Chain A
Amino acid sequence: MTDAAALRRRTREFLSAHPPADTGRLDFLRARFDAGLAWVHFPEGLGGLGLPRSLQAVVDAELEAAGAPDNDPRRIGIGLGMAAPTILQYGTQEQKRRFLKPLWTGEEVWCQLFSEPGAGSDLAALGTRAVREGEHWVVNGQKVWTSSAHLARWAILIARTDPDVPKHRGITYFVCDMTDPGVEVRPLRQITGEAEFNEVFLTGVRVPDAHRLGEVGDGWRVAQTTLNNERVAIGGMRLPREGGMIGPVSKTWRERPELRTHDLHQRLLKLWVEAEVARLTGERLRQQLVAGQPGPEGAGMKLAFARLNQEISGLEVELRGEEGLLYDDWTMRRPELVDFTGRDAGYRYLRSKGNSIEGGTSEVLLNIVAERVLGLPAEPRTDKDVAWKDLAR
């Protein structure tokens, strides 16, 4: 029997033992984790079966057909996409057993304490300090752009443990308890009016050494696992035609002939073509991953979607004419979920401005493509052999 057929049978057996209709949502999710059907590419005992990642689709299809509840992956994206693969690669057995199950079931939400006001594109320059005191680390500093911080039970945190060595070498990676009294979370209001992100102030936060991920001073390397998985997650989306930001504007165009002008028509068609080509490029990347030939295209997809989202939503505001002068709601809120294509055109226009900044600015990504894909010379570096404490700031 093939792996896929065996896995399908296993999933069906699980479903008959735990009929979704008669099982509580959380009980179902916990049992699914224990049965190794949470993420099949994880090891046995940690929610998986040690199978290829591509076989997850077999499980998901069976569960979806049976109307099974899911773990609301969009609510816990940072845990699933970034914390989990890092814990799996660098965590101790105790850490894996403690953290992965409630992370996957969504019982414990995770957030990411990486960016700082003084360390954006140059993340390795971060200045949040962690000082060892016996079996604990005492953390002081400020983090920013932290989504879900107000909901999170745990955070993945990188902090400076040695200021006397060059910046990449003095960083250590921790799991931080967000309920520690030294953690203060403040909403960070954005140009859209809402606060999707937070500022996080860390004052004398005590992190047990048992919550360190990887070696002391090796945090930059550990963080690469986190950041690479973020990019895999961005590149792995599958979209139908008109599945992205082009969908709403195309719908408006069809339904509202009175708004049409020749200039807008030319621009819409051009963006429609570019959106369709970007979709095909993403699909081709996905096919390469499934075929086990990952290409470097992933680095480019974020660049393409950032620009397209901005141009398409900008066009849509213009298309709406007089209605484009309006905005749906400026109320300060803290949304749990962010849907880039939700709300109205004005919101989409403003929110998509962040697409070329968050998760690596477009300028930094262009450098990465030029250097890692095309092999062009790296930027001149003046910070490589300088102790962190001596850097300009």
Chain B
Amino acid sequence: MSDLLYSEEEEALRAAVRDLLADHCDAAGVIARTESDAPHDSSLWKTLADGMGLAGLLVPEDRGGQGATHREAAVVLEELGRAVAPVPYLTSAVVATEALLACRDGDDLLAELASGRGIGVLAVGLHTAPGAAFATVRAADGALHGELTGIADAAVAGVLLVPADDGGLYAVRADAVTVLPQVSLDLTRPVARVVLDGAPGRRLGDTETAVHRALRAGAGLLASEQLGLADWSLTETVRHLKDRTQFNRPVGGFQALKHRLAQLWLETVSLRAAARGAADALAAGEDADVAVAVAQAYAAPVAVRAAEEALQLHGGIGMTWEHPVHLHLKRAKADSIAYGTAGAHREALAELVDLRAP
């Protein structure tokens, strides 16, 4: 049975990331950044990746990383989720890194990503579930032609990992393509259109295996980010309802609201078990397909509901641009599509656990 707890080291890692985010990633700053041309926080990313070495957790030490596992990366993502931190951790340090780990070539890029010197993204639409079809570009004479949409964090990537119609996954430098930001629902993890017009690419390995591995890890660890979102929503709402008085009573004393929050608490602790289960299964390489599908099928509705409840129970203030709850709602809603919807993961389970459709 998998280990569903946090080790002392994992708790220490959490505390370090939370401290950093408390000092350098306040909600007002994140909101202000979304209104600028540069929604990503590059100085925060530098501290996380370079200063703390967190971008290389999934990379073995002999390939330039920290040699940790998905369990530790999941803890980092919980904290990044709580803060809705606008950094490309999931896309670069998890998804692109996993794709590179599955490729024969590209250890130089792996080391670049692991050290935080470079940011990479997998050029597959963020909505794509593990095992689902995805768009490719045309490869001809070592150059790539085509257009890909919904590529998360492409705006800050130095290298894109591009699937081509010849079955290869190619590394393409960002300065060789055109990246056109799309107006995104989630302002803190924006998506972009990537246009390749004869861009030179370097073939790293086989697309199918690399993309599947990358998306499975992305989906599994996204559950930890969703846990962070839900946990923040619950904690902040409880805090607000203890303080807020109406009818000469704290609003949190009304049973209708207490029951809603208790229900949300139950779903959040359940999500914690599911997310730890997925992280541990990915780390151990056992039962990962089922554990990831279970976690994703459960996480998305819980994170969305938590953010929606947070908004409703904050009342009017929750509807304002100034209050951070909308950051969590937008991230949670976008996350419910990212790496496959809950429904897509349930369909995957139908095959995996032999509960087949009519």
Contact (Cβ within 8 A) B4 A284: yes
In this complex, the member of B252, B262, B263, B274 whose beta carbon has the largest number of chain A beta carbons within 10 angstroms is B262
Residues of B within 8 A of A280 (CB): 4, 270, 273-274, 276-277, 294
Chain A 327-353 near chain B by CB (<8 Å), digits 1 or 0: 000000000000000000000000000
- B346 to A: closest C-beta gap in Å: 4
For residue A303, give the distance in angstroms from its CB to the closest CB of chain B.
Answer: 6
Q: Which residues of B contact A370 (CB under 8 A)?
A: 258-259, 261-262
The listed residue (B249, B273, B297, B355) touching A281 by CB distance below 8 A is: B273
Whether, in the assembled complex, B104 has its beta carbon less than 8 Å from a beta carbon of chain A, the answer is no
Q: List 12 A-B contacts (CB under 8 A).
A: A260-B357, A265-B358, A269-B355, A281-B274, A284-B276, A287-B4, A300-B265, A366-B262, A366-B263, A367-B259, A374-B261, A376-B252
Interchain pairs with CB closer than 8 A, number: 125
Which residues of chain A from 342 to 385 have a CB within 8 Å of any chain B CB? 363, 365-367, 369-371, 373-380
Question: Beta-carbon contacts of B255-298 to A below 8 Å, as 1s and 0s?
Answer: 10011011101100111111011000000000000000010011
B333-358 contacts to A (CB < 8 Å): 346-347, 349-350, 353-358
Residues of B within 8 A of A375 (CB): 238, 242
Cα A276 to Cα B353 in complex, Å, equals: 12
Chain A residues near B238 (CB, 8 Å)? Answer: 374-376
**Count of chain B residues with a beta carbon within 8 Å of a chain A beta carbon:** 40
Nearest residue in A to B1 (C-beta to C-beta)? A283
Q: Complex formed: what's the CA distance from A291 to B294 in Å?
A: 25
Q: Say whether A268 faces chain B, with CB atoms less than 8 Å apart.
A: yes
B252 contacts A304, C-beta separation under 8 Å = no
- Are B346 and A270 in touch, CB under 8 angstroms? yes
A303 touches B297 (CB 8 A): no
From B255, B259, B262, B355, A272 is in contact (CB under 8 Å) with: B355
Name A's interface SS: helix
CB atoms of B354 and A265 under 8 A apart: no
Chain A residues whose CB sits within 8 angstroms of the CB of B167 once the complex forms: none
Q: A369-B262, A374-B265 given as contacts; is B1 within 8 A of A272 (CB)?
A: no
What's the nearest-Cβ distance from chain A to residue B256, in Å? 11
Whether a CB of chain A sits under 8 angstroms from the CB of B241 is yes
- A376 pairs with B242, CB closer than 8 A: yes
- Restricting to A105-126, which residues have a CB under 8 Å from any CB of B? none
Q: B350 contacts which chain A residues (CB < 8 A)? A: 265, 269
How far is it, in angstroms, between the C-alpha of A335 and the C-alpha of B346 when the chains are bound? 39
Q: How far is the CA of A228 from the CA of B62 in the complex (A)?
A: 51
| Any A CB within 8 A of the CB of B3 | yes
Residue of A nearest to B249 (CB): A377
Is B358 a contact of A281 with CB atoms below 8 Å? no
- In the assembled complex, the CB of B355 is this many whole angstroms from the nearest CB of chain A, namely 6
B250 interface residue per 8 A CB criterion: yes
Q: Which of A3-11, A51-59, A192-200, A249-257 touches B?
A: A249-257
Chain A neighbourhood of B358, CB < 8 A: 257, 260-262, 265
Q: Which A residues have a C-beta under 8 Å from some C-beta of B?
A: 250, 253-254, 257, 260-262, 265-266, 268-270, 272-274, 276-278, 280-281, 283-284, 287-288, 291, 293, 295, 297, 300, 303-304, 363, 365-367, 369-371, 373-380
Q: Does B142 contact A (CB under 8 A)?
A: no
6 closest A-B pairs by CB: A377-B253, A370-B258, A260-B358, A369-B262, A284-B4, A280-B273
Q: Give the distance to chain A from B300, nearest Cβ to Cβ, in Å.
A: 11
Give the residue of B259, B266, B355 whose beta carbon is less than 8 angstroms from that of A304.
Answer: B266
B140 contacts chain A at the CB level, 8 A cutoff: no
Q: How far is the CB of B102 from chain A (nearest CB, A)?
A: 27
Please measure, in the bound complex, the distance between the C-alpha atom of A363 and the C-alpha atom of B298, giving whole angstroms: 24
Q: Is B15 an interface residue (CB 8 A)?
A: no
How far does the alpha carbon of A303 sit from the alpha carbon of B265 in the complex, in Å? 12
Contacts of A283 in B (CB 8 A): 1, 4, 273
Q: In the complex, A286 Cα to B354 Cα: how many Å?
A: 28
Establish whether residues B262 and A277, one from each chain, have CB atoms under 8 Å apart when the complex forms: no
Could you say which of B258, B272, B298 contacts A273, with CB atoms under 8 Å apart? Answer: B298
- CB of B250 within 8 A of CB of A377, answer yes
A367 to B242, CA, bound (A): 15
- In the complex, which residues of chain A have a beta carbon less than 8 angstroms from the beta carbon of B273? 277, 280-281, 283-284
With A287-B5, A370-B258, A377-B253 as contacts: A277 and B349 at CB distance below 8 Å: no
CA distance A374 to B250 in the complex (A): 14
**B188: shortest Cβ distance to chain A, in Å?**
27
Bound CA–CA A366/B259 (angstroms):
5
Q: How many Å lie between the Cα of A254 and that of B353 in the bound state?
A: 10
* Nearest-Cβ distance from residue B264 to partner chain A, whole angstroms: 9
Chain B: which residue is nearest A263 at the CB level?
A: B358
**Shortest Cβ distance from residue A216 to the other chain B in the assembled complex, whole angstroms:** 35
Q: In angstroms, how far is the closest chain A Cβ from the Cβ of B302?
A: 9
Minimum CB–CB distance from A393 to chain B (whole Å) comes to 22
Q: Which residues of A contact B253 (CB under 8 A)?
A: 376-380
Chain B residues 19-63 with CB under 8 Å of chain A are none
Give bound CA distance, A261 to B346, whole Å.
Answer: 16
**Residue from B258, B266, B347, B355 within 8 A of A376 (CB atoms):** B258
Contact of A363 among B4, B252, B259 (CB under 8 A): B259
In the complex, given contacts A269-B346, A276-B274, A366-B262, what are 17 additional A-B residue pairs having Cβ atoms less than 8 angstroms apart?
A: A253-B355, A260-B356, A260-B358, A266-B346, A269-B297, A269-B355, A277-B294, A280-B274, A281-B269, A287-B3, A297-B269, A303-B266, A370-B258, A371-B258, A374-B265, A376-B242, A376-B253
CA A375 to CA B238, docked complex, whole Å: 8
**Chain A, residue nearest B294 (CB):** A276
State A367–B263 Cα separation when bound (angstroms): 10
Closest to B345 in A: A273
Beta-carbon nearest neighbor of B357 in chain A: A265
- Shortest distance in angstroms between A39's beta carbon and chain B's nearest beta carbon? 24
Residue contact B5 to A288, C-beta cutoff 8 Å:
yes
Q: Which residues of A contact B252 (CB under 8 A)?
A: 376-377
CA distance A375 to B252 in the complex (A): 9
Name the A residues within 8 Å of B265 (CB-CB).
300, 369, 373-374
How distant is the Cα of A291 from the Cα of B5 in the complex, in angstroms? 9
**Cβ–Cβ < 8 Å partners of A303 in chain B:** 266
Residues of B within 8 A of A273 (CB): 294, 297-298, 346, 349
